[in-house]
Chains A and B, each alone.
Chain A
Amino acid sequence: MNGMNSMNEPTSLAPALAVENAPPATATGGSLSVKAVALVVALAALPLALPDYFVFQATMLLMYAIAVLGLNILMGYNGQISIGHSAFFAIGAYCSAICMDRFGMPFWATLPLAAGASFAFGFLMGFPALRLGGIYLALATFALAMATPQLLKYKLIEAWTGGVQGIVVLKPESPFTSPVAGVQVSDDYWFYLLTLAVAVVLFWLASNLLRGRIGRALIAIRDHPVAASAMGINLPVVKSVTFGISAAYTGVAGALSAVAVGFVSPDSFPGFLSITLLVAAVVGGLGSVQGAFFGALFILLIPNFAEQISKSAPSAIYGVLLLVVMVLMPRGVAGALMSLWARVASPAAVPSDPTLQTKE
């Protein structure tokens, strides 16, 4: 069967991750969390050393990383395909914008609402997805992405969404008016710190969940649904909740982007955004939490310099790179770096790359 052959690549992914993650986690668990704290502190201090414009770019990077992580949980770990995550991104963004604009809520309070709303929509989308395997789900989400801008322009909800004009969103003000420890915390920098805090929490949650029981369940469903359900995993529940969680991650990213950009409108969320997220997830590395960062970096940087060549250049680069990544490194940048690291760290025991697709 077609489906059985396709298992080769993903199945080998799980042990590879487990092998590389497990020893340091048990042997040097302490130093790992020290490293993590150091990384977070470095990230928090990073914008201070760089020009102001970079603060915005760094915020966008974290925001995209959260969105890509959301998609990666769904596609990389659970094997459900979505080309429609721009819809959840838009729901999160609009939810935050409406709550702030119409109800005067503070930004931080809108984040749970944005997550909740996107979770609900994602769950609802995941529900028909239970009956639809693989490509049908891709198709349904593709249609969702294409229809999203139209739905946001719809007349009956114009009082809320502002129609074609959209909503202007104000950035939360920094609580520090005077310099703290010699550092002037501007509104932009404050918002960057806020985004970083959200990103840290979400990445910590995701990597812990995915490493444990739940992550194993997701991977089992991806690799062999029948065996997974025979092992006692409740397929319908896990799959729709995963869709919901994935949508919630992307929705939170959308809410952050609404504030970072300061504006939401229907045309900020074209179907192409979904494809961009898909490209980021694949290039960054499916089935890898760190991959989300590489993916976000990629979709942040490529358009910046590619659009100087031509309006069509980003699509061309995305398209060609998708093919190249699929052929040469199916686990994306993160996977390629990991096997490179394994080779450098222990040159004696070079494992044959488990991701290379075996032709059978």
Chain B
Amino acid sequence: MESFLQQVVAGLVSGGVYALLALALVMIYQATHHMNFAQGEMATFSTFVAWSLIQAGWPYWGAFFATLALSFLGGVAIQRVVVRPFEKASPLTNVVVFVALLLIFNALSGLLFHHDVRTFPSPFPKDAWFASSLIPAHGLGSIGVMLIVVGALYAFLRFTPLGLAMRAAALNPGSARLVGVRVSWMLALGWGLAAAIGAVAGMMIAPLVFLDPNMMGGVLLYAFASALLGGIDNPWGAALGGFIVGVAENLLGAYVIGTDLKLTVALVLIVGILTVRPSGLFGKIVVTRV
């Protein structure tokens, strides 16, 4: 029973990271209907930025927030410079552009920070007051950080004028533009937020795995599965989906199929959800009009 609970808790911890990355994917998807295949590599790159700040002697939380700010600006810049020219192009063109971004960020991580495997510090000391035998300090801490991010995002979208403008731009770009919302900038803002949320995901998972340029490959796949499970256009569904996928992955790995086939679980989940229920648990059912 003890080990079962430990598996569930470990699943919740990795689920928190999947949830964050899924949230980042949904931020971009709901506004533009594009799936950002580069989200994982962008998060890895952000984590490397945080790592080098910490190496340069910055305190952890200073580096953390500086990385968030830099990632936000980077995300906005990418949208303005690289993605925006292809806004109206076909899905094929967009997928190619995202694959190009994936390659570029992976190469940047490799070129600037090399392919050595590195350890990344956790902000939560091992003997923190909230640590227990069931859940290590970093695990609980990262779940906490994840909940704070989700809460802050909810408050931002729900209670601020800018959040309202962003939702309007995503829901109905044409009408939003007519009432004076600068839709294109709202998309850039969404990209910035997604990049920052991805950075949090990267910094939370790096202490659990090791930091290297390919750190996020598998995580991104689970994040896609989470986002689809929760409904790709529903941020809160995606966050919940992350936890469900995390726990399911850990329990299946521990008791059913072993750790060799973990990525296959993601594949089966993705294809299964898309085939059986493309709208996910909480997504909007899309009706295509001819």
Instruction: Give residues in A with beta carbon < 8 Å to B.
Output: 2-3, 5-7, 9-10, 75, 79, 81, 83, 128, 131-136, 138-140, 142-144, 146-147, 150-151, 153-155, 226, 271, 275, 278-279, 282, 286, 310-316, 318-320, 322-323, 326-327, 330, 357, 359-360
Contacts and interface: CB of A to CB of B under 8 A. Distances in A.
Interface stretch (B2-10, B102-110, B133-141): B102-110
Nearest to B82: A323
Given A6-B91, A312-B108, 8 more contacts: A6-B93, A133-B91, A134-B95, A135-B95, A146-B218, A146-B221, A147-B263, A359-B88
B64 interface: no
Contact of B278 (A131, A155, A282, A319): A131
Contacts of B271: 128, 140, 143-144
Question: DSSP majority for the A interface?
Answer: helix
Contacts of A150: 260-264
Nearest to A359: B88
B89 A357 contact: yes
* A-B residue pairs, 5 tightest by C-beta: A312-B110, A134-B91, A319-B103, A6-B90, A316-B107
A138 B260 contact: no
A324 to B, nearest CB: 9
A83 B92 CA distance: 11
Contacts of B262: 150
Contact of A326 (B88, B96, B115, B221): B96
Contacts of B101: 319
Given A143-B221, A320-B100, A322-B96, A135 B106 contact: no
Given A5-B88, A6-B91, A315-B103, A136 B274 contact: yes
A279 B213 CA distance: 20
A75 B93 CA distance: 11
A226 B92 contact: no
A178 B113 CA distance: 55
Contacts of B1: none
Contacts, number: 159
A143 B290 contact: no
A10 B110 CA distance: 36
Nearest to B111: A312
A311 to B, nearest CB: 6
A322 B94 CA distance: 11
A146 B96 contact: no
Contacts of B62: none
A75 B92 contact: yes
Given A131-B278, A150-B261, A322-B103, A143 B96 contact: no
A158 to B, nearest CB: 11
Interface in B91-132: 91-97, 99-104, 106-111, 115
Contact of A310 (B35, B97, B110, B267): B110
A151 B261 contact: yes
B230 to A, nearest CB: 15
Q: Looking at A5, A9, A128, which has the most chain B CB atoms within 10 Å of its CB?
A: A128
